Amino acid sequence: MHRKTLTELQAGLARGDYSARELAEHFIKRIQSLDPELNSFISITAEQALAQADAADAARARGEAGPLNGLPIAHKDIFCTRGVRTSCGSRMLDNFNAPYDATVVEKLQAGGAVVLGKTNMDEFAMGSSNETSYYGPVKNPWDLTRVPGGSSGGSAAAVAARLVPAATGTDTGGSIRQPAALTGITGLKPTYGRVSRWGMIAFASSLDQAGPMATSAADCALLLSAMAGHDPRDSTCVDRPVDNYSADLDKPLTGLRIGLPKEFFPATLDGRIADSTHAALRELEKQGATLVDISLPSVDLSVPAYYVIAPAEASSNLSRFDGVRYGYRCNDPQDLEDMFKRSRSEGFGAEVKRRILVGTYALSHGYYDAYYLKAQKVRRLISDDFVRAFEQVDVIMGPTSPELAFGLGAKSDDPVTMYMADVFTIAVNLAGLPALSMPAGVIDGLPVGVQVIGNYFREGQILNVAHRFQQATDWHQQQPAFGGDA
């Protein structure tokens, strides 16, 4: 059963080939036997899952099956789940049981999905390798000595190893797309404002966006249709009708104009990744697309701009963790100041502290204009580049990640090298555009991802491109040997 996509499982459930309970039991067994090696889950919620599965079966029997009825999923541990630990990968929230469900959690549950657990992640979603988690690194199922990418590395590894057919992720600078690329799955970051951020623990509020991670574009479409939509509890969530993202998946690509920014194909790019990207482009050309050379002159500034803006917002968002209201509190505080200081020093890990320091500095009086304001201006230039490009082309493509999955520990002492992992993904967040990563090759036993960027609210179009590609190729069906048929 774990070899099937969500779409196939949906059909199997409808035919009565298996019940939601049987599905949940199968995947829970896989998680319990295989995850000790991967470490992709922080919490397994078997009991709740079985109760949800029984409720799904009962709803189907009454003729009230929602679109996701009985489909097993997992949530990145950044989403609040009522009564269940919501740690955000941090010691700070290790003891935090959320008193409510995030909108995304609520919406997927309303569709009938069954939640098997909460997945591992970089602490407060800061990282590209899942090594900053308080719960230890996640391993890449394609090679257990390598990272799965981050920060949604737990969701990516769990889906790649077929411990769960799909999972949620969040993407602030690449955290859905980069781990999707490094583990050979499909992941979509929607347009900023398309999916509610309510109940999703904030990292950098002007960049954070939740999205689906699954083994195919069709599965991402199914999940996004349920996740998206207006939410009055998030003032940045856009009030605009939600498309049926599954409706246009098969549309022919005839006449599609694909922009290839020269900045996404630097001379230093790994030749094998460039080759896989070009092979994917040739397949799309065969289906009627035309390739257009373009330039996004300001995107080279996206990593430096991001590493001012994201830490600035993080330093503000993380000020709420003070040891008073919820989360970690140090033992035996001497006085109030000691409690603030030690609760934060002991509760946060090194990367989170680095970001708080950088962000506080960038926002401080006298430096604000030089750093934060300057970065915001660069951000506008980057958005303008994309706006101009989309006057000429329908989608923009390139590699998702400059590298294949790297070794555990290979970059953990060098933050700047780690930050470059998102060199092709960050500009999209700064501009607020939708983008996905789809598998487009396997090199030396490691998957390669290709990125498809769309214009604002054109999630349907990039899913269409990815789905057509997946109808003609089988890269998305390739699976790691890990996990076999247990």
Q: Please, where are the H alpha helices in 162-321?
A: 177-183, 217-227, 271-286, 302-317
Taking the complex as a whole, the smallest distance from the CB of residue 360 to ligand GLN amounts, in Å, to 16
Taking the complex as a whole, the smallest distance from the CB of residue 152 to ligand GLN amounts, in Å, to 8
C-alpha separations of 241 from 149, 250, 388, 395, 444 in Å: 33, 21, 26, 22, 44
Taking the complex as a whole, the smallest distance from the CB of residue 126 to ligand GLN amounts, in Å, to 5
Taking the complex as a whole, the smallest distance from the CB of residue 111 to ligand GLN amounts, in Å, to 25
| Annotated catalytic residue within 40, 76, 87, 155 | 76
* Residue type present at position 89: G
Taking the complex as a whole, the smallest distance from the CB of residue 299 to ligand GLN amounts, in Å, to 16
DSSP string, 117-158: EEE--SGGG--SSSTT-TT-PPPBTTBTTB---SSSHHHHHH
Query: Which residue, 342 or 355, has its beta carbon nearer to ligand GLN?
Result: 355
Q: Does the N-terminal peptide bond of residue 206 adopt cis geometry, omega within 30 degrees of 0?
A: no
| Annotated catalytic residue within 40, 128, 133, 151 | 151
436 within 8 A of 217, measured Cβ to Cβ: yes
DSSP 73: E
* Known active-site residue 107: no
Taking the complex as a whole, the smallest distance from the CB of residue 407 to ligand GLN amounts, in Å, to 17
Whole-angstrom distance, CA of residue 466 vs CA of residue 471: 9
Query: Which residue, 55 or 420, has its beta carbon nearer to ligand GLN?
Result: 420
| Annotated catalytic residue within 129, 175, 315, 343 | 175
Name the token pair of 26. 């199968």
Q: Which chain residues interact with ligand GLN by CB under 6 A?
A: 125-128, 151, 171-175, 203, 310, 422
Q: Can you tell me whether residue 225 is helix, strand or coil? A: helix
* Known active-site residue 345: no
N- to C-terminal Cα separation, the chain: 11
Query: Which residue, 243 or 422, has its beta carbon nearer to ligand GLN?
Result: 422
Tokens 């583990």 locate to 183
Query: Which residue, 69 or 317, has its beta carbon nearer to ligand GLN?
Result: 317
Q: Can you tell me whether residue 48 is helix, strand or coil? A: helix
394 within 8 A of 258, measured Cβ to Cβ: yes
* Known active-site residue 133: no
Give counts: helices (H), strands (E), the chain. 15, 11
Query: Which residue, 172 or 302, has its beta carbon nearer to ligand GLN?
Result: 172
Residues known to be catalytic: 76, 151, 175
